[in-house]
Amino acid sequence: MPLWYYGSPAGQKGPVEENELRAMIAAGQLGPETLVWRDGMKDWSRLEMVPELTQGSISPYAPPQSFAPGYYVPVANSGLALASMICGILAVLACYVWIVFAIPAVICGHLALSQIQRSPVPMTGRGMAVAGLVMGYLGLLFSLAMLVIFIIAIVGSLH
């Protein structure tokens, strides 16, 4: 029996046996919009588009939480989210040149969130993207505050 993987809000889950997956479908834990994949499929598909899972009966003897020991399929992580977080940290820590890192942090953060939302495969990194955005905007705020202070100091010295 093939091993299946499915998407959840926390990322990719699996592998699970088909009987267990069918039991989860019957229990309402997986909906028609849930992405599923097994070896031999070209790409992830919505559950409602996979006839072998939407037709047929469900075995009452589904194994409880079975898994293949030592077998791990990594979940895709957004590289843009990581870049956003790193630039955001540098934007907050860099003295007087906050804007140099703040702008890339904000751009990468927005691109990462868009990438994560549109990805057909479950992808992680939303927290890093949000952290990068927050710190990037803080860096922009620090840069703007320094510019205002600098202008006030120049105008004050002219009088």
Q: What would the pLDDT profile of 46-79 be if each residue is shown by its tens digit?
A: 888 888 877 654 444 344 444 444 445 566 788 8
Is pLDDT above 80 for 156? yes
Is pLDDT above 60 for 4? yes
Is pLDDT above 50 for 146? yes
Q: Residue 49 has which token pair?
A: 């588009």
How far apart CA 66 and CA 68 sit, in angstroms, is 7
Dihedral Cα 67, 34, 112, 74, nearest 10 deg: 10
How large is the average pLDDT for residues 27-44?
85
- Predicted pLDDT at 85: 93
In 3D space, the residue among 31, 1, 27, 4 whose CA is nearest the CA of residue 15 turns out to be 4
Q: What is the mean pLDDT of the chain?
A: 82
**3-state SS string for the chain:** CCEEEEEECCEEEEEEEHHHHHHHHHCCCCCCCCEEEECCCCCCEEHHHCHHHHCCCCCCCCCCCCCCCCCCCCCEECHHHHHHHHHHHHHHHCCCCHHHHHHHHHHHHHHHHHHHHHCCCCEECHHHHHHHHHHHHHHHHHHHHHHHHHHHHHHHHHC
Percent above pLDDT 70 for the chain: 86
- Predicted pLDDT at 127: 93
At the top level of CATH, the class of 3-54 is: alpha beta
- Predicted pLDDT at 123: 82
Domain with CATH 3.30.1490.40 in the chain: 3-54
- Predicted pLDDT at 132: 94
Q: Compare 96 and 34 and report the one with higher pLDDT.
A: 34
- Predicted pLDDT at 56: 56
Tens-place pLDDT, residues 108-140: 999 999 998 888 777 888 999 999 999 999 999
Query: What's the pTM value of the predicted model, to 2 decimals?
Result: 0.53
How far apart CA 129 and CA 9 sit, in angstroms, is 16
